[in-house]
């Protein structure tokens, strides 16, 4: 009985081999749990698990948290500025800038504007920069030009990204 | 707490900086099995190594980072595996004793692979409790891994060692070398430490590994022994388009009997299309029990990239007591 089972098994193997096509493997990423079975293997740069399953839910939740942190930074400084949209207007620079612009330009739109956000990690930097650029694009309906990108240390040991831009 | 709030609760516990490179992952695998065992027939629900874990890294500089993993297994079917029995003597004639056993779900999570280590251009050094290089060398050759047809019921060497330190070289020409030391953590007569090592070649269509253990189980279980226990394993996997063939051969020296014992596994998987796959596997050896053999056939239906339905039929037998049969259907979700 055992011999028959072995024979059948090897028949299955060799029949399978006969019809096999020598094509490559599926290049799609394996699941995160299978990747974790490879102990100590680095997280594959080609495989992004940040948007799948429970992991995706957690990453999105944290992303919202980071976004809230960025918004809070705006609000804190906005209290000292004239803008209710979390955007500071650098009036000192605006005078110089206005003089350089053509007469057809709208005076308000030619002002240099400054927005900023605080961050701690590389990933937060990317997120903060994206949020700031989106903020600027919403502020300038015809587009904008980035005049300056500056970084400053803060009292709470974070870094502050400050974008200076002007609208077209 | 509502289940929907669980991810947010976990997220709130993690600082956003630390969460950047964290992967939360897991597997839910449950089968309903018709069992024929010792001339009895019954139906059981089994949780097959269902688990949840987190894995990540903290970059120190361009050449070095700290890596970590915490993985825990949970019994999805009964919540735990502990069983307590109590015996009650009755003062009747003739005297009889009644034994009552109660399964309780007190052990929600059990530890699986857990480590912390350093990873850089010079390789990976990590310590904790995790699969030995020999166990890890099986890769995906065991097509019924974590199920009743798992090779662990027939072959030796499937050890998740405690108190283990491992160094792995960087992959060079698809080859990785791994060496691990398992501390027995005791200074008594015949206490031995364990060693496990492997050499692995892994490309897309081919996988080969050679591995060896010495006294790993003794050291991990803190068991004293006057003799050495050695194990050697060779593993191969070859992919021809939709067909994946696997084989494993082991030689085991328990230090007691004069002759070494050997055992083998062969497996084959035929991927009919992106959704359906047929599998077959047999494992044989005298290592765990005399004349032990496990043979399985199965079918997988992939519902999505993360979920699959599957069924299998497994026969486990040996020359002494066992001739068990399992017919099962199950579902697996990876996340």
pLDDT in tens, A63-93: 666 555 554 444 344 333 333 333 333 333 3
CB-based contact A68:B19 (threshold 8 Å): no
* Chain A residues inside the 8 Å CB shell of B204: 24-25
Give the global pTM. Answer: 0.68
CB B137 within 8 A of CB B166: no
Per-residue pLDDT of chain B (335 residues), as tens digits, is: 444 444 455 555 555 445 557 888 999 999 999 999 888 999 999 999 999 999 988 888 888 999 999 999 998 888 765 555 565 554 445 545 555 555 555 667 889 999 999 999 999 999 999 999 999 999 999 999 999 999 999 999 999 999 999 999 998 899 999 999 999 888 888 788 899 999 999 988 899 999 999 988 888 888 878 788 899 999 999 999 999 999 999 999 888 877 889 999 999 999 999 999 999 999 999 988 888 999 999 999 999 988 999 999 999 999 888 899 999 999 999 98
Q: Under a CB-based contact definition with an 8 Å cutoff, are residues B83 and B108 in contact? A: no
CB-based contact, B119 to chain A, within 8 Å: yes
Q: Is the ipTM of this complex over 0.90?
A: no
3-state DSSP of A13-58: HHHHHHCCCCCCCCCCCCCHHHHHHCCCCCCCCCCCCCCCHHHHHH
B334 touches chain A (CB under 8 A): yes
CB count within 10 Å of CB B201 equals 15
Nearest to A55 among B24, B270, B293 (CB): B24
Distance from CA of B265 to the nearest CA of A (A): 12
Cα separation, B186 vs B33, in Å, equals 42
**CB-based contact, B211 to chain A, within 8 Å:** no
- Taking CB atoms and an 8 Å cutoff, what residues of chain B touch A65? 11-12, 16
């Amino acid at each position: 009985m055992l011999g028959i089972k072995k024979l059948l098994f090897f028949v299955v193997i060799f029949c399978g081999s006969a019809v096999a096509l020598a094509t490559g493997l599926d290049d799609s990423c394996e699941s995160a749990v299978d990747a974790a079975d490879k102990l100590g293997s680095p997280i594959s740069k080609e495989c992004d698990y940040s948007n799948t399953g429970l992991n995706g839910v957690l990453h999105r939740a944290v992303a919202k948290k980071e976004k809230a942190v960025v918004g809070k930074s705006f609000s804190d400084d906005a209290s000292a500025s004239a803008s209710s949209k979390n955007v500071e207007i650098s009036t000192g620079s605006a005078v110089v800038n206005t003089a350089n612009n053509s007469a057809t330009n709208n005076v308000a739109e030619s002002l240099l504007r400054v927005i900023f956000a605080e961050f701690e990690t590389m990933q937060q930097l990317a997120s903060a920069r994206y949020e700031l650029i989106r903020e600027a694009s919403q502020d300038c309906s015809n587009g904008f030009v980035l005049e300056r990108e500056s970084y400053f240390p803060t009292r709470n040991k974070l870094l502050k990204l400050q974008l200076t831009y002007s609208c077209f | 707490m509502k289940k929907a709030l669980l991810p947010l609760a976990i997220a709130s516990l993690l600082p956003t900086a630390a969460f950047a490179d964290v992967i939360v992952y897991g597997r839910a695998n449950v089968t309903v099995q018709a069992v024929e065992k010792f001339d009895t027939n019954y139906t059981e629900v089994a949780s097959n190594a269902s688990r949840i874990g987190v894995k990540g890294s903290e970059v120190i500089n361009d050449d070095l980072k700290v890596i970590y993993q915490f993985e825990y297994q949970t019994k999805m079917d009964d919540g735990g595996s502990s069983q307590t029995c109590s015996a009650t003597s009755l003062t009747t004639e003739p005297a009889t004793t009644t034994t009552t056993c109660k399964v309780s779900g007190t052990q929600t999570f059990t530890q699986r692979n857990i480590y912390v280590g350093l990873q850089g251009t010079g390789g990976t050094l990590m310590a904790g409790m995790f699969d030995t290089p020999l166990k890890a060398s099986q890769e995906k050759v065991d097509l019924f891994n974590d199920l009743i047809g798992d090779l662990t019921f027939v072959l030796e060497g499937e050890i998740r060692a405690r108190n283990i330190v491992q160094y792995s070289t960087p992959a060079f020409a698809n080859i990785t070398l791994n060496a691990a030391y398992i501390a027995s953590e005791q200074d008594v007569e015949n206490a031995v430490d364990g060693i496990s090592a492997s050499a692995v070649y892994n490309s897309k269509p081919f996988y080969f590994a050679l591995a060896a253990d010495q006294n790993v189980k003794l050291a991990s279980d803190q068991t004293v022994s006057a003799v050495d226990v050695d194990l050697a394993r060779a593993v191969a996997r070859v992919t021809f388009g939709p067909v994946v063939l696997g084989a494993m051969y082991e030689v085991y020296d328990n230090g007691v009997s004069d002759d070494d014992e050997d055992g083998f596994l062969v497996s084959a998987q035929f991927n009919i299309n992106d959704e359906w796959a047929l599998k077959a596997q047999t494992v044989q050896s005298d290592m765990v029990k005399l004349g032990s053999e496990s043979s399985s056939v199965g079918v997988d239906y992939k519902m999505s990239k993360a979920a699959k339905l599957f069924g299998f039929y497994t026969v486990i037998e040996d020359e002494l007591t066992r001739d068990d049969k399992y017919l099962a259907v199950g579902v697996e979700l990876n996340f």
